[in-house]
Chain A
Amino acid sequence: MELYIGGYAQGKLDYVLKKSGCGLDSVVDGALEDFADIGQGKEIINHFHEWFFLKLQQKEEPEKIIKQILSKRKDLIIISNEVGCGIVPMEETQREYRERLGRCLCDIAEKADRVERIISGLGQKIK
């Protein structure tokens, strides 16, 4: 399993597609679809943070769901924005989102075989 993180609009998906040789048909978009039952043909989860936020809004526990998915699928590539590097928001749901997503990404990074941070379309391998 691999994790690719970085700020907004840093070219993360392009970088991962190019590197992995996968096509767009192997990508699940977390902003648009739930991937709890992710199929074998899909290898890349894009916009992981958007999915995480949706799950929190639905009062579900995204940490548990992704843990279950990753226990079955060791081949997945996860792409997520980093959202913790700003002023702590006034709104409680936003604060909770940042904090919980951050911790979840720490867990995923710990399990991942490879972690890269994408800046301006370039990958910085940090694990």
Chain B
Amino acid sequence: MIIVISGGSGSGKSAYAEKKILSLRESEPLYYLATMQIYDGEGKKKVERHRTLREGKGFITIEQPLNVGEAAYAVEGRASVLLECMSNLTANEMFINAGTGLPEGLQAEARVMDGVRRLAKRTKHLVIVTNNVFEDGKRYDEGTMRYIETLGRINCRLAEIADEVTEVVAGIPVEVK
């Protein structure tokens, strides 16, 4: 089962995603796929905050800032996996291809979706956290617009294959699919 959880910054989507996977999980192994690359103190603080949230809940953490499909080999069969989050993973995948002449958006989309499909095959429950970055109405530079479009496409593809899609608003889950 694939569940996609979306929301803005500070919407409470992480806390809800955790609650969700913990409620679904029975006795299978439980993994947390962390995608964030730490560049500064603020990033470190964010990671720490999430770690504290997860503490004592039985998660095995796998750092997977790129090539999310590789995690399919690392998780033990039929596990429950919380993947957080798509906005970081997409940015990371696009960033490594930047300047190589490859269409980084399409590359990133293909790699991310291929990875998610491979993961989904190996897992009992796959909960994917993604981010709503689409509603500030601003026009950004070309690279950022390409990122927004890519994440938007990935979110659409994820929603297609998901059994459930939930948006979290002020900590409250709102069912979308």
Contacts A87-B140, A88-B133 given; does A109 touch B9 at CB 8 Å:
no
Total residue contacts A-B, CB cutoff 8 A: 79
B138 within 8 Å of A (CB atoms): yes
Among B69-77, B93-101, B165-173, the stretch in contact with A: B165-173
Chain B interface, DSSP helix/strand/loop, else mixed: loop
The contact sample of 10 A-B pairs, CB cut-off 8 A, is A83-B8, A86-B133, A86-B134, A87-B148, A95-B42, A98-B9, A109-B171, A115-B170, A124-B174, A126-B169
Q: Mark A1-18, 1 if CB is under 8 A from B, else 0.
A: 001010110000000000
A113 within 8 Å of B (CB atoms): no
Which of the residues B9, B169, B171 comes within 8 Å of A117, measured between beta carbons? Answer: B169
A23 within 8 Å of B (CB atoms): no
Contacts A106-B171, A126-B172 given; does A87 touch B144 at CB 8 Å:
yes
B142 within 8 Å of A (CB atoms): no
14 further A-B pairs in the complex, CB-CB below 8 A; given A7-B135, A82-B169, A115-B170: A84-B8, A84-B132, A85-B8, A85-B9, A95-B9, A102-B11, A103-B10, A106-B11, A108-B170, A109-B170, A109-B171, A110-B171, A126-B172, A127-B172
Residues of A within 8 A of B11 (CB): 84, 102, 106
Residues of A within 8 A of B (CB): 3, 5, 7-8, 82-88, 92, 95, 98-103, 105-110, 115, 117, 124, 126-127
Residues of A within 8 A of B42 (CB): 92, 95
